[in-house]
Amino acid sequence: MIYRLLDKLVLLLSAEEDKTSPTVPDSDKGIASRKSILIGQFNALDSKSGALLTHISIMIGVLSLMTSPLNAGVSIFERNFLVLALLLYLFAAILCIRCNKLTTTHVLLEKFEGEWPKDLAWLEREFIAKRQSFKFATHLVVWVTILFAVFLTLSLVL
């Protein structure tokens, strides 16, 4: 249920060109080529979201150390900013987990056991939802990381 809510939120916030399916040929030998293209795109998206999740995990660890009780000299504004950044990273982590959930290559192969349906539209919709979630998570992480770097620089200088 939470993934449906995330999908709706990301769909509202995504650009119009992100709402199209991947380029998959519709030829007579189409099912085999569509299957291989979709599996390749799912694999690429899984690896990219895994790499992004690694960055998010490191940043959550750094932010957790910075908001720990050992930092007693931190002002309320600084602590609130760090907690907000931590929450945004956690939201991005949920989006990355959404990208890795449900449709991986081995799950697809086990589900259909070699017999793929003629209509792969539902699989293409799943890919679009995952791609939108990944793009939104990437943009969120980039902006939060930039803000965190600027904030950290200003707090060290001032």
Query: Mean pLDDT throughout 18-24?
Result: 51
Q: How far apart are CA 66 and CA 109, in angstroms?
A: 44
pLDDT at 131 over 60: yes
Weakest-pLDDT range from 35-39, 52-56, 60-64, 88-92: 35-39
- pTM for the model: 0.72
Q: Which of 5, 6, 17 is nearest to 99 (CA)?
A: 6
pLDDT of residue 87: 92
**Sign of torsion over alpha carbons 89, 95, 99, 101:** positive
Q: How far apart are CA 15 and CA 32, in angstroms?
A: 30
Please count the residues of the chain: 158
Tell me the per-residue pLDDT of 59-106, one tens digit each, with 9 for 90 and over. 998 888 877 766 667 778 888 888 899 999 999 999 888 887 655 555
